[in-house]
Amino acid sequence: MKKLIALFATTAVASGSAMGAIALSGTASVSYDDKGAAASATTYDADLTVTGTAGATTFTQSMDIDTAVGVTATTLATTVGPLTVSADMYDEDDSTTVTTTGGRKTDSGDNRSVTVSLDAPLGDATIGLNDGGDVTVTGTFSGVTVAHTLSDDGDSTTGSASIAGMDISLTNDDGSTTWTLGTTVAGTAVTLDSDANVTATFGVTGNTVVVTHTSERAATTPTNTNTHWNTSQKDAFTTIAVSRDLTSGAAISATYDSFDDALTLKASVAF
């Protein structure tokens, strides 16, 4: 009997070491949309993420589970000395048929990739390389965070900093520059970008209120469809969202969208 107990204990320890740690997280929600003049609809959404960790290696599997189990992301990351290796193992279909939201009109191809980042004494900079040959250099210098990517599809540079109470972000993507400014005025967080989109977030008696104005968008057809999305024309619209966390652990929200004069009520939970 003692030998049997000892064998069981050894097996249990060995199995626990091999399994490592597994964590579950996810979200679930149900929404009612009156859709303005159109027929109302109720929609459901549930997502689950499984994260397995063994030492310095992490595997993450994300799934959409409200209708049937559908994979949305699969990643594997590990470290080898000063190198961090991350593999995006999921080839998603990134095409869209919803013309009002813009986006790619056809699938961009195989989206799987491997990225290698070097964490070595190179000042404050980190160098990354993916299997497509793109080289990215990132770092923070005197409070300014800068990332520059060298790519055959066009170089891009982003920079961000907090200056005099304002959060500033600049992006130059293959010669096209965009910017975003954010600050807080009298308890209201305000964000403005180069497309004249404005968002204001503030609290009212325990509720969070977000007012967003999205400017009119013109239709575009980029020359490089591998890195830039096609967009369809869309008129300007404004949304007002009011949300509140409940003691039950759930959250409720109400959102009005002026584009189709619709009100959406949503109950959600995250774990």
pLDDT number for residue 81: 86
| Cα Rg of the chain, angstroms | 24
Neighbouring-strand partners of residue 54: 57
pLDDT number for residue 3: 38
Q: Does residue 100 have a pLDDT over 70?
A: no
Residue 221 to residue 225: CA distance in whole angstroms: 8
- pTM here? 0.77
**pLDDT tens digit sequence for 112-159:** 999 998 876 667 788 999 888 889 999 988 889 999 999 887 899 999
Q: Please state whether beta strands 251-257 and 237-245 pair in parallel, antiparallel, or not at all (unpaired).
A: antiparallel
Query: What is the token pair recorded at 157?
Result: 């540079």
pLDDT number for residue 267: 97
Would you say 264 and 255 are in contact if contact means Cβ atoms under 8 Å apart?
yes
Give me the amino acid identity at 50.
V
Sign of CA dihedral 230, 235, 238, 241: negative
Q: Is 74 helix (H, G, I), strand (E, B) or coil?
A: strand
Residue in the structure block whose two tokens are 């799987």 = 112
231 against 209, higher pLDDT: 209
Q: How confident is the model at residue 162 (pLDDT cuts 50, 70, 90)?
A: very high
Neighbouring-strand partners of residue 77: 58, 86
**Number of residues written out for the chain:** 271
pLDDT number for residue 2: 43
Q: Which of 193, 230, 229, 231 is nearest to 214 (CA)?
A: 193
**pLDDT tens digit sequence for 19-78:** 579 999 999 999 999 999 899 999 999 999 999 999 999 999 999 999 888 999 999 999
Q: Does residue 82 have a pLDDT over 90?
A: no
Distances (CA, A) of 261 to 38, 193, 219, 257: 10, 25, 23, 6
pLDDT number for residue 224: 65
